[in-house]
Amino acid sequence: MNRELYVGLMSGTSLDGVDAVLADLAGAKPRLIADACIAFDAPLRRELLGLNSRGENEIERAALAGNALAARYASAVAEVLSRSKIPASEIRAIGCHGQTVRHRPERGYTTQIGNAALLAELTAIRVVADFRSRDVAAGGQGAPLAPAFHAAVFGDAAEDRVAINLGGIANLTFLPRSGAVTGFDSGPGNCLLDLWVSRHLGTSHDAGGNWAAAGQPIPALLERMLQEPYFSAPPPKSTGRDLFDEAWLRKMLKDGEQAQAVQATLLELTALSVANAVSRHCRGAQRLIVSGGGAKNAALMRRLAELAAPACVETSEAHGINPQLVEATAFAWLAKQTLDGLPGNLPSVTGARGARVLGAVYPG
């Protein structure tokens, strides 16, 4: 069989760096050939986080950050090509999600930066980017977009499943044995956990969830957090750092909470909001397939398994894809959908008026 080679790039709400994958998409399931991760340095991470809120000179700052992102995306592409020993001329396209800095579908827009034109120039490879805007233009949320990919690679006619991405924001895809695929953002994944541990321990994340696991959740704080209207809003819905940010967390806190106990509460919030969403909107699910950075948080995975029982909770590794690479692979797949003239959204997920071919194409 002839190969169809794509590079997928993802930098998500966790703001830890760029995940890249080189995949052969000629078959029914993707075959991963090489992968790489390019970490963000502290200044770029601070700038990307800052662009999630209004500030001075935003247009120029966003443009310069987009150029810096394009350089890192190009480095990630070069790395997977080097590791695979495959020339750029054999790559059909790069699928580049870009970095979300604002997501306001209720106001008719979503903004991802990353300068796809510069990325095409730097790599001499066709780039497909700006996947979310067409769905928003069609009245949809523009997110989540991975469910169509989840259905293709994780769906099974023998059981009802849920694919869960625990990135900065957690999103769910319900994959029933029969009927429409649905999906939505359930709420915070790692974003608040990472923010709090960074403030108090100076680390980018709580490795293994160990700091949270050594503390005890604060029931009153958890109850205040769960009163957030987003959790009870019906799908289709999507969210991001526009809502679940430091200001939101500070609003929930009273004076005097012990820092480790807050971390334990945030872990419980993520686990419980995901489990509640599964219970309400994915009834009968027998298997939860977890990907994203949260799949490496052992304490979070243990708690999710307790809350989701008797459903089986496992990572995407059991299905042949590294949990850290699922979203990057999804955007490689979405680039192929674009070039093949096929829809990339699921109206049952995003609420768009219909299926749409997504993305803008920048020739290499």
Read off the tokens for 98: 């870009």
Would you say 204 and 243 are in contact if contact means Cβ atoms under 8 Å apart? no
Read off the tokens for 339: 């070039």
Residues 50 and 18 grouped into a single domain: yes
Cα torsion through 243, 137, 340, 316, rounded to 10: 20
Domain boundary among 304, 319, 334: 319
Residues 229 and 158 grouped into a single domain: yes
Residues 193 and 307 grouped into a single domain: yes
Residues 162 and 307 grouped into a single domain: yes
pTM (two decimals): 0.92
Structure confidence at residue 255 (pLDDT): 82
Structure confidence at residue 1 (pLDDT): 62
Would you say 104 and 110 are in contact if contact means Cβ atoms under 8 Å apart? yes
Residues 25 and 133 grouped into a single domain: yes
CATH of residue 104's domain is 3.30.420.40
Residues 59 and 119 grouped into a single domain: yes
Which residue stretches of the chain are H helix?
A: 42-50, 58-84, 116-123, 132-137, 147-154, 191-201, 210-213, 219-226, 229-232, 246-252, 259-281, 298-308, 326-339, 347-350
Q: Which residues pair with 314 in a beta bridge?
A: 289
Q: Which residues have CB under 8 Å from 343's CB, separation 6+?
A: 148, 337, 355, 356, 357, 358
Read off the tokens for 281: 């909107």
User: Which regions in the chain score pLDDT beneath 70?
Assistant: 1
Residues 216 and 352 grouped into a single domain: no
Residues 26 and 160 grouped into a single domain: no
Residues 87 and 200 grouped into a single domain: no
Structure confidence at residue 13 (pLDDT): 79
Residues 92 and 55 grouped into a single domain: yes
Per the structure, the count of domains in the chain is 2
Residues 271 and 330 grouped into a single domain: no
Residues of the domain holding 340: 5-142+323-362
Residues 35 and 93 grouped into a single domain: yes
